[in-house]
Amino acid sequence: MTIEQKINAVGRMVPTTINGVKAIPFKGIGKYKPHGKKHAPYISSCVDFNSDGNKLVESLSEALKKCGLKDGMTISTHHHFRNGDLLANEIFDIAKKMGIKNLRWFPSASFPCHEHLIQYLEDGTISHIEGSMNGVLGKFCSEGKMKKTAILRSHGGRYQAVQDGEVIIDIAVIGAGCADSFGNANGLYGPSASGLLGFALADSEYADKVIVVTDNMVPFPCVPWQIQGNNVDFTVKVDKIGIPEKIVSGTTQITKSPDRLLIAEMTAKFCEEAGLIKDGFSFQAGAGGTALSIGNFFADIMRRKGIKARFARGGSNKYLVDALEEGLIQYILDGQTFDLEGVRSMRVNSNHTWTSPFTSYNYHGKGNFAGMVDIAILGATEVDVNFNANVVTHSDGYLLHGIGGWQNCLFSKTVILPVPLFRDRIPVVKDEVTTICGPGELIDVIVTERGIAINPLRKDLIDILKDSKLPIKTIKELKVEAETICGPMEKMRISEEVVAAIKWVDGTVIDVVRKVIHKV
């Protein structure tokens, strides 16, 4: 059967049906408006729960059985434990033992530690993954080995899909660093502390059945309740839920690469010259080496100017925490903590506030936080001459990364992508990106070690920077420079077969990933 495909608003050919469900091609930013009502979960009753609040069952296996685990269900998990997660693998080990088939796995993200699950994708225990695939599972998907089409969403898009009933979760399994037997849970305490549990919020609110699993059960009340026990059906105590050193790093490190440091410094200078760094401003940077370094440069500028940021968005880390404690930043609005200092700060400092994809990123809410951020510093695997950018595939066509909050952050007031001009002699700036994850009209500035390109739509920035000594170039100049240095590229070898769809923040399909023809 041939599935109808249509060209969407960024010129990509996308299917109008995915896994048998109607899909809407991307219509342009703000052009698609949702209709109808949010997903309505079943009404529960206290009659069905112990009045003393104890929801503890013997094992994860028992909890899954009590939730009625059966063929074809949708099981959600979360990536708070990142590459140290032990829970997702265990869930599907249990499903396999029970002989369950055709499960849709709906993680907020998957990591190399989930390579274990390839066997279940192969034997049909899991039909497919809807969620970010970092590394090996992405490679598996890229090679067309998954039985159905993967769907990738941003953090906000995942909340939106659950809220809107696009994805109905049968069973949500929420791993928590700390919980009580009622199901109140947080990620702040215990050996598997991860900081916060925001990625599981939608699941706790909308899933039919919710299981909280912890290796650190405390007496009621588990305070704060980042996940509310009132939404939880069963709780499980296990010996070990994650590998601490892979959940949060002991410390995050700023880059030592001279090229990356140069990019970071140029980015900070650009922001200063553009007048973006002023009293009460706000910014979001990631926890990569370059982003951390930019945060440090921002701090230097703030000290020098004697100004404060009203807030910084996390991923938090020790550098951001230092700035908070120094008083350079008034609030950290944190979506995930990347190191132990972030976790500590969130525990003790009420100005280090946990957020969720609902507050920060849900496009089908009454606004969200993303648009209030003055400067968003984001990454990309590729950028094209129209400022479209890619974060999920490499230039060889392999899907190796998730979207994270990247698409959502594009709504910030000024979006800057500090990227190297090329990586391993492969250009980052090119004529056309392999996969469009974000439309160029939302991306304002590209900073590379060899020049800075400002989106022509941002006439204001071009005007302010017109006398700058920074190496302002056009994006096409950057592209030519990259091509000249790298020389002719091998053409990527892909087939027509769609293996994954990339959703935009409103649930429409902005692009697809097609099967890579494996090099022999």
Residues that bind a copy of itself (CB under 8 A): 30, 33-53, 55, 163-164, 182-183, 210, 219-221, 223-225, 228-233, 280, 310-311, 331, 333, 350-351, 353, 358-359, 362-369, 371-372, 411, 413, 506
The distance of Cα 336 from the centroid of its chain, to the nearest Å, equals 10
Output 165 or 289, the one with its CB closest to a copy of itself. 165
CB of 257 to a copy of itself, least distance (A): 34
Between 1 and 46, CB nearer to a copy of itself: 46
Q: For residue 135, what are its two tokens?
A: 């590394």
Q: How far is the CB of 395 from a copy of itself (least distance, A)?
A: 32
Shortest Cβ 222–a copy of itself spacing (Å): 10
Give the shortest CB-312-to-a copy of itself separation in angstroms.
11
CB of residue 290 vs a copy of itself: minimum separation in angstroms?
26
CB of 204 to a copy of itself, least distance (A): 10
Q: Which is nearer to a copy of itself, 297 or 504 (CB)?
A: 504
CA nearest to 302, candidates 287, 324, 285, 286: 324
Q: Nearer to a copy of itself by C-beta: 366 or 491?
A: 366
On whether the CB atoms of residues 175 and 185 are closer than 8 A, the answer is no
Please say which residue, 233 or 444, places its beta carbon nearer to a copy of itself: 233
Smallest distance from a copy of itself to CB 289, Å? 28
Structure tokens at 230: 């009132």
Pick 275 or 367: Cβ nearer a copy of itself: 367
Name residues whose C-beta falls within 8 Å of residue 302's C-beta, 6 or more positions apart in sequence: 277, 308, 309, 323, 328
Closest among 472, 267, 456 to 378, alpha carbons compared: 267
**Lookup result for tokens 């994270």:** 404
Burial 390-406 (b: 16+ CB within 10 A, else e): bbbbbbbbbbbbbbbbb
CB-based burial, 96-128: b 16+ in 10 Å, e otherwise: beeebbebbbbbbbbbebbeebbebbeeebbbb
SS3 for 211?
strand
Which pairing describes strands 309-313 and 103-107: parallel, antiparallel, or unpaired?
unpaired
Q: Which is nearer to a copy of itself, 20 or 36 (CB)?
A: 36
